[in-house]
Amino acid sequence: MKRITLLLAFSLICLFVSAQSADEIIENYFENTGGTEAWNNITGLRYNASVNAPIGEIPLVMYNGKDGSSFVKMTLQGNEIIQIAFDGETAWGMNMMSMQAEKKDSEITENLKRAIKEFPDPFLNYKEKGFSVELLENETIEGSECFKIKLTKMPTLVDGEEVENVTYYYFDTENFVPILVEAEIKSGPAKGNIAQTFFSDYQEVDGLYFSFSFTQGLKGQPSQTITIKSVEINPEIDKSSLIFPEG
């Protein structure tokens, strides 16, 4: 009898799991992490984080705004280093040798502009953004069965050419949150490798759920974890600090 019950239960699970469409999975994801309305109300996100490096724990602050403004800032020996800042028009960062601000190349800037609409989550209103999704076969990731969704965003520029911008998301079938994102690296010495980011430690912040642990690396190679200490929703940001300091 127990066996029959189990089989029935398993069949029901399979039925529901297999019945999921990409849109249902995305809808469930937003519902399970705070609701679409709450996600739509986000205008800015600041992550206070740290990363363990051979030189010790490095504090990081990362910010993304709806208007495209963003920065990544780390602190070393009391000095704040802007790794990248973007005010919606110009992207720049500090040279570690000269400690001076330098503009990023035009391709990075253009790609940042194209990525503005991804905020706060590329799946949010993805159709309006011109993105497309495709549900692929389920895969097991880190022991969890996952829905695999191919997300195609607006093309990016790589070495002067428009290139398809595809990312693969793996949503845990149990709770519909992504636990892995993969994308092929399109330029630089790691070109052709697959970049992976694993997500875990989802925690609630003002009614929304965010991953508090990102583990990043190339597929098949060692990775590094960014640990989120806190997430601030719609924080006050001095946007003048994101403007490239001329002279």
Partner 1 sequence: MKTFKIILILIVTTISIQGIAQEPIRLAGEELFGTMRARHIGPAVMSGRITDLAGHPTNSKIIYAGTAGGGIWKSSDGGVMFNSIFDDYNQSIGTIAIDPSDPDHIIWAGTGETWTRNSISPGDGLYKSIDGGTNWKKVGFAESDHISSIQINPNNSNEVYVGILGPLWGDSDKRGVYKTTDGGEIWEQLLAGNLSTGCSDLIMDPNNPDILYAAFWEFRRTAWSFNSGGKNSALYKSNDGGKNWNKIHNGFPEGVLGRFAFAVAPTNSNILYGVVESEDRSKCGLYRSENAGESWIHLNKDFELAVRPFYFSRIVIDPRDENVVVKCGLFGSISRDGGKTFKNLGPQHPDIHDIWFDINNSDIIFSGTDGGVYQSFNGTATFDMVDNLPLSQFYFVSVDNEEPYNVYGGLQDNGSWYGPSSSPGGVEAGDWKPIGGGDGFRAFRHPTKNIIYSEIYNGEGIYRYDLDKNIINTIQPFPEEGDPKFRYNWNTALQLSPNKPDRVYVGNQFLFRSEDMGNNWEKVSPDLSTNDLNKQGQTNSGGISVDNSGAEMNTTIYCITESPLDENLIWVGTDDGNVQITMDAGKNWTNVVSNIPDLPANTWCNHIEASNFNKGTAYAVFDGHYSNDNNPYVYKTTDFGKTWKSIATSDIENFARHIKEDYVNENILYLGTETGLYITIDGGISWVKFTNNMPSASVHYIALHPKKHDLVLATHGRGIIIIDDISPLREINQEILQKKAHFFESTPTVIWEQGSFGGNSTFTQFVGRNPNRNAKIIYYLKKRHTFGKMTIEIFNSNGELVGKADPGKKKGINIVHWDYIMKPPVVAKGKTYSRGGFSTLQLPADNYKLVMKKGKEVYESNIELIYDPNSSISLEDRKLKFDLSKKLFDLTQDLAYLVYEIDVITEYVNNIDFGNDKSSKVAKSLTSELTELKKTLVITTGDNYVQAADPELREKIGNLYSVVVGNSGKPSNTHYKNFKMHNSAFEAAIVKYDVLKKKQFSKIEKFVEKNELPSVTMKSFEEFLKQ
Q: Which residues are at the interface with partner 1 (CB under 8 A)? A: 2, 5-6, 9-10, 12-13, 16, 24, 27-28, 31, 52, 54-57, 76-79, 96-100, 136, 140, 142-144, 150, 164, 166, 168, 172, 174-175, 177, 179, 184, 189, 191-194, 198-203, 212-213, 215, 220-222, 225, 227
Q: Which is nearer to partner 1, 8 or 89 (CB)?
A: 8
Measured from the CB atom, is 79 or 240 closer to partner 1?
A: 79
CB-nearer residue toward partner 1: 83 or 140: 140
What's the min distance (Å) between Cβ of 122 and partner 1?
Answer: 18
Contacts of 2 (CB under 8 A, 6+ apart): none
CB of 107 to partner 1, least distance (A): 17
Q: Which stretch of DSSP H or E encloses residue 61?
A: strand 56-65
Contacts of 7 by beta carbon, 8 Å cutoff, 6+ apart:
none
Least distance in Å: CB of 109 to partner 1? 23
**What is the spatial distance between Cα 210 and Cα 57, in angstroms, rounded to a whole number?**
22
Q: Cβ of residue 40: shortest distance to partner 1, in angstroms?
A: 19
Nearest distance from C-beta of residue 48 to partner 1, angstroms: 13
CA–CA gap between residue 121 and residue 36 (Å, rounded): 11
Q: Tokens for 206, please give them.
A: 């003002």
- Cβ proximity to partner 1: between 89 and 95 the closer is 95
Report CA torsion sign: 132, 134, 140, 144. Answer: positive
The answer to whether the beta carbons of residues 88 and 67 sit under 8 Å apart is: yes
**Backbone torsions φ then ψ of 152, nearest 5 degrees:** -110, 115
3-state DSSP call for residue 89?
coil
Pick the closer one to partner 1 by CB: 26 or 44: 26
CA distance 170 to 147: 5
How near is the Cβ of 152 to partner 1 at its closest, in Å? 10
Nearer to partner 1, 72 or 94 (CB): 94
